[in-house]
Amino acid sequence: MNNSSEDNSQSSKSFFENFKWLTTKEVAEYLGTTPKQIRKWAYQGKIKAYKLLGKSLRFKSTEIKLLIL
């Protein structure tokens, strides 16, 4: 039974490590807008955001890069 909890821990850890996570500020700089606008788009569902550390929004760099293609 311990293996199952260890497997879940490992899969969760690898999920977070497989992506480069960006802050709201980093995304705003990359897209040439403000952090406030990025938060607005995230809450409107226009860009996908994740809450990884409590209230802080994080964005997958791969998903942000797709926005400008």
* Per-residue pLDDT tens digits for 39-57: 999 999 999 999 977 889 9
The pLDDT tens digits for 59-68 are 999 999 998 8
Is 17 a residue whose pLDDT tops 90? Answer: no
Is 2 a residue whose pLDDT tops 70? Answer: no
CA distance 65 to 67: 5
DSSP run (H or E) holding 59: strand 56-60
CA distance 36 to 59: 14
**What is the share, in percent, of the chain residues with pLDDT greater than 90?**
58
CA distance 37 to 35: 5
Q: Is the pTM of this model over 0.75?
A: no
> Both ends of the chain: CA-CA distance in Å?
46
Q: Residue 47 corresponds to which tokens in the numbers above?
A: 């860009």
Q: Give the model's pLDDT for residue 54.
A: 81
